[in-house]
Structure 1
């Protein structure tokens, strides 16, 4: 881009000049930190060679990641610095700061049944699994669950299960990216039993890597000590150690009532969550 008249000019290969002085790199960095990532990647980087060079430096993107509210653990930052594929590192940093990588967000679709049983592979037992738009026979789902509605899944006297598979590559996480970032994996679900009938619920999460599979299991029963029927409880687990080359996560919930009563007196569940936390 050639010189233009005025107090602020852009010179080819040299960025912006004001009163004959080129803005220092540090000043350009501070300006770019406030520009949306989409604009930086798709247009700003193409203005001139100088800007392109600034916006392909890892130092800037580490700062941009921090500016957007992400704090990389020291071990994660070290893996990024040691990664030989610099283009991959650049894509990862841009993906984090721009929200293109689904970090700190629930990867489960329809986690509480607001869309009925869509997105779930369901096996019905007894009188089948249903969805209630407000839980019947229990307290309302507590505000601390952070759920937008009161929908919940409800099981019956026979074992009912629902399963959902998360293919990581389809959402932007190829196995190598997961290995570099190594985010914690948070798994959780809210569960309750009716005031008049005991029930139980299990979560089984299968994490499939390139060479191995790990299973995480959580069990809840309203007959356990200190559990009060009609109250809601949170089953949760955070994983920091899981198979290398993670490519697929399968989330399964299994539940039933403990009295073998006809109808839908089994465990109620809501807010199924699988989340990469960084």
Structure 2
């Protein structure tokens, strides 16, 4: 009397086996997985999953979810991206590399402020050579308040950006729907003048120059100013075949003083953007 009726435990539903899904549903499910997990985890599960990750559809579905004006313009170009060829030098399809690297709007210059010394740069030392110091004034938006400093003879450094390796597929580069924005901050010490030069060249796959931008501001005179200013340029309508950006800086002082009293350079940037017009 008063006993509670027993409850029968219902059998648990069997776990969902994703490998039983038809291909069109599997690709929909996997399109919600973050890009890095798709490549490092899902691709190794089985051949069917590998084929999905290696193909363009799962990546097109990810791109289609960006409904901004830039996202819609990018998706229109991505639909024309050819599948990976057997002789292609890079693993994964071009859209996979794009989603992994997220190159649009990102600064493609490595170690732009010298926070990692001279890593990523080809350097030629003049005088007492290049050095890395703290900024004399705040540079807005810089990832590190440090700068490269030149000496009493011409100092040169260069970084070669491989746009395809950074995730911008070749058909997007050739589409006339992108622009390449370059910028550099430079300045002088108050007690010593300096000379600064910037050259940025767009190169083809053989590193032949296609188009270039050069900046040669007037030298900063001794005791006239202290601080940094920006040089910038936007490349548009540069034609087909671009693969690399060669970012080249030159600097020296005007007094031939031993030490590091020449041009200061920092927060260099190369950014790729979608053109909406």
- Normalising by structure 2, we get a TM-score of 0.70
Contact 1:199–1:221 (Cα < 8 Å) also in 2: no
Q: Residue 45 and residue 176 in structure 1: after superposition, are their counterparts in 2 closer, same or farther (change >3 A)?
A: same
Q: Which of 226, 229, 232 is equivalent to 2:225? A: 229
Q: CA deviation at 1:9?
A: 4.2
Structure 2 equivalent of residue 273 of structure 1? 269
Aligned partners of 1:80 and 1:196: how far apart in 2? Answer: 53
What aligned pairs does 1:226-265 form with structure 2 within 5 A after superposition?
A: 229-265=225-261
Deviation string, structure 1 residues 185-204 (Cα, Å, up to 9, x no partner): 22111111112222231111
What aligned pairs does 1:134-173 form with structure 2 within 5 A after superposition?
A: 134-135=134-135, 139-142=136-139, 144-148=140-144, 150-171=145-166
Q: Gaps spanning 5+ residues in structure 2: where?
A: 1-11, 86-91
Q: Residue 122 and residue 40 in structure 1: after superposition, are their counterparts in 2 closer, same or farther (change >3 A)?
A: closer
Contact 2:180–2:273 (Cα < 8 Å) also in 1: yes
Deviation string, structure 1 residues 190-224 (Cα, Å, up to 9, x no partner): 11111222223111111112575211112334649
Contact 1:110–1:118 (Cα < 8 Å) also in 2: yes
Q: Residue 7 and residue 179 in structure 1: after superposition, are their counterparts in 2 closer, same or farther (change >3 A)?
A: same
SS in structure 1 at match of 2:132: strand
Structure 2 equivalent of residue 64 of structure 1? 62
Structure 2 equivalent of residue 18 of structure 1? none
Q: Gaps spanning 5+ residues in structure 1: where?
A: 16-23
Structure 2 equivalent of residue 35 of structure 1? 33
SS in structure 2 at match of 1:95: helix
Contact 2:94–2:167 (Cα < 8 Å) also in 1: no
Aligned partners of 1:68 and 1:119: how far apart in 2? Answer: 32
Is 2:113 aligned against 1:106? Answer: no
Q: Which of 188, 191, 197 is equivalent to 2:186? A: 191
Q: Residue 269 and residue 46 in structure 1: after superposition, are their counterparts in 2 closer, same or farther (change >3 A)?
A: same
Deviation string, structure 1 residues 138-176 (Cα, Å, up to 9, x no partner): x3333x23323x221111232211122234455455644
Q: CA deviation at 1:257?
A: 2.1
Contact 1:176–1:245 (Cα < 8 Å) also in 2: no
Superposition RMSD in Å: 4.1
Aligned partners of 2:131 and 2:53: how far apart in 1? Answer: 55
Aligned partners of 2:179 and 2:129: how far apart in 1? Answer: 34
- Normalising by structure 1, we get a TM-score of 0.69
